[in-house]
């Protein structure tokens, strides 16, 4: 099984079952996904994503890929004159919402992290925000990200991580009790948000994910905590 395999009860789900589960989650919550992000994070996710875009520092003539880009909130921040910004996401429902509301210069492509529908060495930078923990195979996804990046191209991953110090138990209780209830009240899908919380809990911490990126073949791997480690921006380079 891949590093991010899930278990339900005493049985581990297969890769196919996990993919079906994840796609169902995002299909059901697509219309309320951005609203739920605002409520769950008190709007702070917007600051995290803006910080991610600043770290990318996009330039004219670059090809920028936002993987698991969903409704395009990160891609919208990367878009600009002379840049080619591509959202790759397996959820047509999420991208449909994005097409209705985001920058018209964004290109929307259906695809998965494990088999990106892009040529070798074609991207100057690839971002993924709160999506890497939902891939079916982390090893396959990182290998294909390396394939798509140009030599010297950079990978930026914004993901939930392990909060520092005394904040951790408060954060864990908030995730356990508040977010599923928000999912029930606003998105009308508490099970979907229970899954998302479980995926956060299972994801490797900052140092462990740094080691995974290095083992996958990335160089210059580093990370920056945001909001005391509630989330973390990992940055890595294709050799």
Helix (H) or strand (E) holding 101: helix 92-101
Looking up tokens 């278990």 gives: 7
Q: What CATH number labels 7-237?
A: 3.40.50.150
CB < 8 Å & 24+ apart, contacts of 75-84: 75/102, 75/103, 75/106, 76/102, 76/103, 76/106, 77/49, 77/50, 77/52, 77/53, 78/53, 78/127, 79/103, 79/105, 79/106, 83/58, 83/59
In this prediction the pTM is 0.85
Q: List the chain pLDDT tens, one digit each, 239 residues.
A: 344 444 434 445 556 655 666 666 666 665 666 666 766 777 788 999 999 999 999 999 999 999 999 999 999 999 998 999 999 999 898 899 899 988 888 999 999 999 999 999 999 999 999 999 989 899 999 999 999 999 999 999 999 999 988 888 887 877 776 776 766 666 565 666 667 778 788 899 999 999 999 999 999 999 999 999 999 999 999 99
- Cβ neighbours of residue 128 under 8 Å, at least 6 residues apart? 66, 67, 68, 113, 156, 157, 158, 159
Q: What is the pLDDT of residue 22?
A: 62
Domain ranges of the chain: 7-237
Cα–Cα separations (whole angstroms), residue 25 to 21, 159, 182: 6, 18, 15
Residue 77, token pair as written in the block: 């921040």
């Amino acid at each position: 099984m891949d590093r991010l395999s899930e278990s339900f009860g005493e049985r581990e789900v297969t890769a196919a079952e996990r993919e079906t589960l994840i796609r169902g989650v995002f299909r059901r919550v697509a219309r309320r996904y951005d609203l739920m992000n605002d409520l769950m994070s008190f709007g702070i996710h917007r600051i995290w994503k803006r910080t991610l875009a600043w770290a990318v520092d996009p330039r004219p003539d670059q090809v920028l890929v936002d993987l698991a880009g969903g409704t395009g909130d990160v891609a919208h921040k990367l878009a600009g004159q002379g840049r080619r910004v591509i959202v790759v996401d397996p959820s047509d429902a999420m991208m449909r919402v994005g097409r209705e509301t985001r920058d018209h210069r964004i290109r929307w492509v259906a695809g998965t992290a494990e088999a990106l529908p892009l040529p070798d060495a074609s991207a100057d930078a690839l971002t993924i925000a709160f999506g890497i923990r939902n891939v079916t195979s982390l090893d396959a996804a990182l290998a294909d990200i390396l394939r798509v990046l140009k030599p010297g191209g950079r990978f930026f991953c914004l993901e939930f991580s392990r909060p520092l110090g005394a904040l951790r138990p408060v954060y864990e209780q908030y995730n356990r009790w508040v977010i599923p209830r928000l999912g029930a009240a606003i998105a009308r899908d508490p099970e979907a948000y229970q899954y998302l919380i479980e995926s956060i809990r299972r994801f490797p911490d900052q140092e462990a994910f740094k080691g995974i990126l290095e083992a996958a073949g990335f160089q210059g791997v580093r990370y920056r905590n945001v909001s005391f480690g509630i989330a973390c921006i990992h940055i890595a380079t294709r050799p």
